[in-house]
Structure 1
């Protein structure tokens, strides 16, 4: 802080001196950019021993190379080496050399790029070639400030950068994991069971390529007369992918699931090139799938697709809503809610997307080829190829379609979409399939689909989706064909062949009523099995009663009917603030013929921990449970315990985290999405620095490294130092940096942090004199730690015992000082520091 105050003081003196010279005629200007100080206004004992050279030339930076962050129109980007050179027409000046690589990341329009001129052997941008361009360096903040008129820049908004600014990140290795364990004891049977399950992603980043291997494991033990034990470990998927930014697409090689808005998903090994909605501005992106439901007790929710675990998470009793699934997930998802008493709820969620609309003149596409495979990586079908497109025909109209074909199977689809503006968007399509089976011969049929959606971007909280689909008995998806092909003795209609489906998802907030509602409904019929229904309805309202404020009343009703198993329930919740940060509430539920009433209390502990305790009655049995969550620097941990008198007791623990290792260092950390994008933070070797993105902060490790995992792909993300939590003996020259990373990237941000004590000192030269007024003191990292005042006095910050610092004036290193081996904060006298030349 001292160096900033000192520089501000010099700036004020500069202005005072300049004003005095105008009035008194005591100051002349050698050049338009040069400033001569009237030192008479300075209260100094020795006016002949002054060095204000670094302040006398506006914007002057000593020629050389500096590590500076780029602030483009007040948006800070990654630090990089910036060279300052003396222009040909001004040998005493200096100017930042903006290389072609740096200029490419500005996101200039094609017209602006054509008018650029260069100097210094065409290596540096001529700053006068772009009208209105301003460049200013601040070494105190280690930042190069660049201002460019918006008319010369590609489209961007507050949360999105053009592709020219996307970063591929560092090469590195990632090891992400999620582990869960549960122990259950059934009192009546005297049996004790435990499960240990886990899943994760191991991977490596090489330039723009992301190499990923997914795994899952489970151990089940039943302590009964049979002592049943089952164990499994599987590598579920091997894949590699990269962004093709020029096409706004993702190239994937290896094992994958078909990502399609037209055809049903299935597993295959091969390659795909798919337009990635995440590369579009936020208002043009599609919906990410979400899963909702109600847990009767503390439970584990397992979301899978075709046997592959996508998400495992512990949830407290009551309604849950999981919204952090990958937006690339499509098709039907299988959901299991494993309750504390050992019972399991099962249902499916269809992740249908919004109507396939495209901006006028643009084309979005999805291409793939390969061979279908099963969960054991075995080929189960013929080579296929598929392609689909969406073309923005005109303003408001889109045409889309595609084809999927292989040996003995083919499907064609054609559809049209219309943007109804304030009324939403509507699309309709028809798909025809043709398949040949050895036992049934040729089968063909049609599937019709109608979809409607409306999204309210202003609040980003209200989404409507509705759809209808009908498939006749002859229609077969690729998954249906593969199933029928493996069952030659069947009738050609595989188990689970869809007939008719209705879907509706709606959420609305009524701000004037302090009320919100959410509805999710799906109805599915099949050709060879019973119908499946699922709905969730939640209504919530905030209100006040007397001195009690922000009381929340919510009612959730649900029905699940899947594989002839029906589960109905209702859940009532009433909660109110209690104390400074706690919540007291009542919960009542009716599920599976059981009535439960309970009182619960939840609160947080600091910024990273929260807990819930609950006590009540289930029918006539006492019911107790607790839930604890900790968002730590190294991992996210959740724990739960449940007890019901005379029936069961259960405890569970989950832990999710990861390790990231790069050439710049690495750290253990918690994860947001397995194998996802993250940012490695370098705090200049200082441990315990609190850094973060949008979630809770994490602390840098003993090597001064931390990983922030809550970073979105292709989205401008900010990482920051929480200065409110920064230790008293540390300070940061800058506290916020921004950037946009490609999917799966390991970004890198360096924060200049000065750590150490503060003390007043007096610097003496070998002959007994003192350094000139205005001389600077820098540490081994070239961080400025103080500016010499009158009589050699200096207030030093960031000092450590035995540290060696350099004193500079006349734009050169003059001598070095060595700090004492013991520095006491309570020192009342100035430290005498001899300055010696070495």
Structure 2
């Protein structure tokens, strides 16, 4: 860390400074170097002792925490002994048995004599004495040790393996994450109003390795029952030895072998994110086209998981919280004219194929519950998946409850024709009237990706007998009626086929999907068709979609759309888009809008649009506008829209409040894991990973998203901070556990800055290169060009000592006093001082 900016007192001294700089930057000059100090004599200044410059890159003995990188892979931050070896003038890393184990060095390959030397707990050896093919490079200034180690000397673990010892449980913290949306509509024909508001909450308290969570939402509006809907309350921690998460409270089973079950009780399930990234095996993206400013709601198994206002044209929701459901998402669009459009988005995992030796499990014990908080029968559920080879995996499961048993058994085959998962499920339900009733179902999933032709094919088929009953249907029937069964409402046949086909660099992409559902005791089938083609012509992007939904109960509905998008200028953050929608029965709508981002960090977003609609009875036109501001503590949005017959407005806000040992910090909406950043005094510093986030006046900020069990780098940008505050560290790395609130501390040095023009008592200049220390004995830097000292982090008044040798005659002290206030132009204060001989100030403390 540089405290002084110094330049030579003359041309000759400048040459010497360049030489010294070259020495410090070249590892080859680590041995003793010598140069003639007479080159530094300028203007009659005393000679300076340059012996301390004769050893480049000196490293002191001691134990130091270093970032260790092996074969270009970060292996964590470890305490490394630094020891002098033989006649060496700089200390080098010394490796203990514990450190070698942590770095995954294969100790079995060490010679027996080496292993014996490493047995004592306090012993360590230099790298050269280990007898392995390896090299090291120590960057002491950057606290970084880089190793190149032959593969045969390493344990057979993935290169991206991150040891559990480096996982961060975070600090004690509490938070409330909120999402608010207010939607209001007014009819211009009769003046009637309709209003609806939504508040989604996700709160938590972190205590060590235990993470307490609650999720719920509140809907208030005309014609809506005002009721807070709790979704889940639970406490969770990881069980690293099993690569699993332990959950107590209200949660959900994973939904891999059986359908996901909401329960209140205990759960233990695998979490493959704890594995190295190369060993890991999903929330889907919801997209569509809105004809007008619309209210979008997304539900899963009847639970409201998202609500927001979308503008006319294409939309995409990609920030849904990931969960373990296997149920499809139910999407509803309420258009401004009151028209409702609904569609579903598949939420199913790929076939249950695992790597050889890999395994997943899911266990839960408790009471079944529904989306309204009602509880039902007690149950025990367990499932296991196991990878046997590159081609074959198996899975099985059991569910047991009073009056109900179910079992599943299946396998997955990977072949040249794709991956196929086949599962046979059986159930037995005790009926008061009919006694035990048994049934079975067959479920098949298939996926095939042809990389050479950019083809992605997938299909799923579920077929069940009328006597088969899933556990959720059984539990729901018990809650609703106490007895009886709902198997007649079960799907008899559910099939889906999807194709995504790339057509080359210029050909675009083609998407096709067909689905069919048949139910017992229902004539006909529900069939859906979807077709899309997407491409670009130069900068212009375009897409054509066609959908048909045919219901046995309500008939068929068609939807056709053409979308266009064009960026406004190269590198521009704004774009022009247009869409045309039609139902094939005389109803159509168009939308043309300009949207973009503004601000240095894209914190502002905006959109302006014109819309038209046409049906057999009338035509109408309208306009809409929306704006968004994403600040360090929240994101706020608003929109206005007016058509001939109605006017609507909406306001939205999302963000979080985080309570921690340093106070309360406002933050953007949080992910599963996040970081509390603290740099004392560095107000207005920004996070490079989230440039919209600035540190507050107390030096705190929140990085809203970290990847659990992965290496995250968090960097601070000091631009905008006071010139009287200096970051001593600007980058940190962390591996958070799932749910952790990692505390990242960036030390700073605060104080006044000054440029001191100093002279000896006889008026001569100070020796160039002489060291300058403060009253605590800390070296601040060197005397610079023209006998000037550029100091930072000093008090308003004090005393500095200048040393150019060990004798008292080669030292002097100067007193300084800065003005009460700093210059308004954010520059260092210039003062003049005389450096008195040391004997004249004898007895002064700290010198």
TM-score in terms of structure 1 length: 0.83
- Which of 461, 474, 498 lines up with 1:468 in the alignment? 461
Residue 445 of structure 1 corresponds to 439
Partner of 2:655: 657
Give matches, 1:783-798, under 5 Å: 786-789=781-784, 792-796=787-791
Structure 1 residues 195 and 57: alpha-carbon distance in aligned structure 2, compared to 1, 3 A threshold: same
* Corresponding position: 1:176 with 2:207: no
Q: CA deviation at 1:403?
A: 1.5
Is 1:557 the equivalent of 2:546? yes
- Higher mean C-alpha deviation, range 573-582 or range 92-101: 92-101
Offset at 1:161?
3.9
Aligned partners of 2:122, 2:360: CA distance in 1, in Å?
Answer: 37
Cα displacement (A) at 1:352: 1.4
Query: Is 1:361–2:366 an aligned residue pair?
Result: no
User: Is 1:501 matched up with 2:494?
Assistant: yes
In structure 1, C-alpha distance between the alignment counterparts of 2:49 and 2:415, rounded to whole Å: 70
Alignment check: 8 A CA contact 2:752 2:795 kept: no
Which residue, 378, 386, 399 being the options, matches 1:391?
A: 386
Q: CA deviation at 1:5?
A: 7.8
Alignment partner of 1:484: what SS?
A: helix
SS of 1:480's equivalent in the other structure is helix
Q: Count how many residue pairs are aligned between Structure 1 and Structure 2.
A: 805
Superposition map of 1:724-735 within 5 A: 735=730
Shift of 1:264: 1.0
Contact 2:685–2:719 (CA<8 Å) still a contact in 1? Answer: no
Distance 1:777 1:458 in 2: 67
* CA distance in structure 1 between the aligned counterparts of 2:657 and 2:699, rounded to whole angstroms: 15
Residue aligning to 2:838: none
Match of 1:136 in 2: 138
2:233 — aligned with what?
238
Query: 1:196-216 CA distances to partner (integer Å, 9 max, x unpaired)?
Result: 211111111222221101121
**CA 1:610–1:3 in structure 2 vs 1: closer, same or farther (change >3 Å)?**
same
> How many angstroms apart in 1 are the aligned matches of 2:712 and 2:237?
20
Give the 3-state SS of the residue equivalent to 1:702 in structure 2.
coil
Q: What SS class does the counterpart of residue 388 from structure 2 fall into?
A: strand
Matched, 1:247 2:248: no
The CA deviation at 1:38 is 3.5
Q: CA deviation at 1:446?
A: 1.4
Distance 1:575 1:400 in 2: 46
Report whether the alignment pairs 1:699 with 2:694: yes
The alignment partner of 1:242 has SS state of strand
- The equivalent residue for 1:586 is 578
Question: Which deviations, in whole Å up to 9, do the C-alpha atoms of 1:464-513 show, x marking residues without a partner?
Answer: 53211111111111011112334559863357422211234444444421
User: How far is the alpha carbon of 1:232 from its aligned partner?
Assistant: 1.5
2:64, 2:82 within 8 Å by CA — same for their partners in 1?
A: no
Distance 1:175 1:100 in 2: 45
- SS of 1:444's partner is strand
The answer as to whether partners of 2:469 and 2:487 remain within 8 angstroms in 1 is: no
* 1:692/1:239 CA distance change after superposition, 3 Å: farther
CA 88–244 in structure 1, closer or farther in 2 if over 3 Å, else same: same
- Displacement of 1:181 in angstroms is 0.7
Separation in 2, partners of 1:9, 1:248: 59
Matching of residues 183-198 of structure 1 within 5 Å: 183-198=184-199
User: 1:726-768 CA distances to partner (integer Å, 9 max, x unpaired)?
Assistant: 8888775665443332211112333456678876433568998
- Give me the whole-angstrom Cα distance separating, in 2, the residues matched to 1:783 and 1:527: 84
Paired position in structure 1 for 2:217: 216
What is the rounded CA distance, in whole Å, between the counterparts of 1:832 and 1:552 in structure 2? 66
Alignment partner, residue 588 of structure 2: 595
Aligned to 1:526: 519
- How far the C-alpha of 1:691 sits from its partner, in A, is 0.6
Using a 3 Å threshold, how does the CA distance of structure 1 residues 213 and 101 change in structure 2: closer, same or farther?
A: farther
- 1:299: Cα distance to partner? 2.5
Could you tell me how far apart the structure 2 residues matched to 1:303 and 1:780 are? 65
Is the Cα–Cα contact under 8 Å of residues 96 and 123 in structure 2 kept in the other structure? Answer: yes
| CA positional deviation for 1:643 | 1.4
Give, in angstroms, the shift of residue 605 of structure 1: 1.1
Structure 1 position 528, deviation (Å): 4.6
1:605 aligns with: 598
The separation in 2 between residues aligned to 1:258 and 1:90, in whole angstroms, is: 63
Task: Mark the CA change 1:13 to 1:341 in structure 2 (over 3 Å): closer, same or farther.
Answer: same
1:524-565 Cα shifts (integer Å, max 9, x gaps): 222255744445433221113xxxxx0111123334567945
Distance 1:596 1:41 in 2: 83
Indicate the SS of the match to 1:481.
helix
Provide Cα deviations, 1:325-361, integer angstroms capped at 9, x if missing partner: 3443322233332333444333443311111112212
Contact 1:666 1:706 in 2 (8 A): no
Distance 2:604 2:775 in 1: 39
- Map 1:292-441 to 2 at 5 A: 292-332=287-327, 333-382=329-378, 384-420=379-415, 423-441=417-435
Contact 1:76 1:739 in 2 (8 A): no
The unaligned stretches of length 5 or more in structure 2 are: 8-13, 836-843
- 1:767-782 mapped onto 2 (5 Å cutoff): 773-774=768-769
Moved more, 279-288 or 242-251: 279-288
**Is residue 137 of structure 2 the alignment partner of residue 167 of structure 1?**
no
Shift of the 68–164 alpha-carbon distance from structure 1 to 2, 3 Å rule, reads: closer
> Which stretches in structure 1 are left out of the alignment for 5+ residues?
23-28, 222-227, 545-549
State whether structure 2 residue 685 is matched by structure 1 residue 689: yes
Distance 2:696 2:177 in 1: 18
The CA distance in 2 between the partners of 1:303 and 1:112, in whole Å, is: 57
1:482 matches 2:481: no
Contact 2:297 2:308 in 1 (8 A): yes
The residue that corresponds to 2:147 in the other structure is: 147
Distance in 2, matches of 1:779 and 1:691, equals: 32
Q: Structure 1, residues 105-152: CA drift from partner, whole Å, max 9, x if none?
A: 64556758997788898357544365435362434x4x3334352633
Name 2:621's counterpart in structure 1: 622
Q: Distance in 1 between matches of 2:526 and 2:778?
A: 67
8 Å Cα contact 1:697-1:722 kept in structure 2: no
Q: Over aligned residues, Cα RMSD in angstroms?
A: 4.4
Provide the rounded CA distance (Å) in 2 between the counterparts of 1:104 and 1:581. 50
CA distance in 1, matches of 2:36, 2:118: 37
**Contact 1:201 1:215 (C-alpha < 8 Å) held by counterparts:** yes
For 2:231 and 2:54, how far apart are their aligned partners in 1? 65
Worse overlay, 65-74 or 55-64: 65-74
Distance 1:213 1:97, change over 3 A: farther
Shift of 1:448: 1.0
SS at match of 1:614: strand
TM-superposed CA distance for 1:631, in Å, is 2.3
Q: Distance in 1 between matches of 2:800 and 2:551?
A: 74
Match of 2:705 among 701, 706, 710: 710
Change (3 A) 1:288 1:214: closer
Q: Pick the aligned partner of 2:19 from 13, 20, 42.
A: 13
Cα distance, 1:514–1:690 mapped onto 2, change above 3 Å: farther
User: How far, CA to CA, are the matches of 1:509 and 1:252 in structure 2?
Assistant: 42
Aligned to 1:275: 270
Among residues 535, 538, 563, which one is paired with 1:573 in the alignment?
563
On the 8 A contact 1:577/1:583 being kept in 2, the answer is: yes
Cα distance per residue 1:184-237 (max 9 Å; x no partner): 11223421121121111111122222110112111113xxxxxx5742223321
Aligned to 1:547: none
How big is the shift at 1:391?
1.8
User: Could you tell me whether the CA contact under 8 Å between 1:347 and 1:560 is conserved in 2?
Assistant: no
Secondary structure of the 1:381 match is: strand
Query: Shift in Å at residue 670 of structure 1?
Result: 0.8
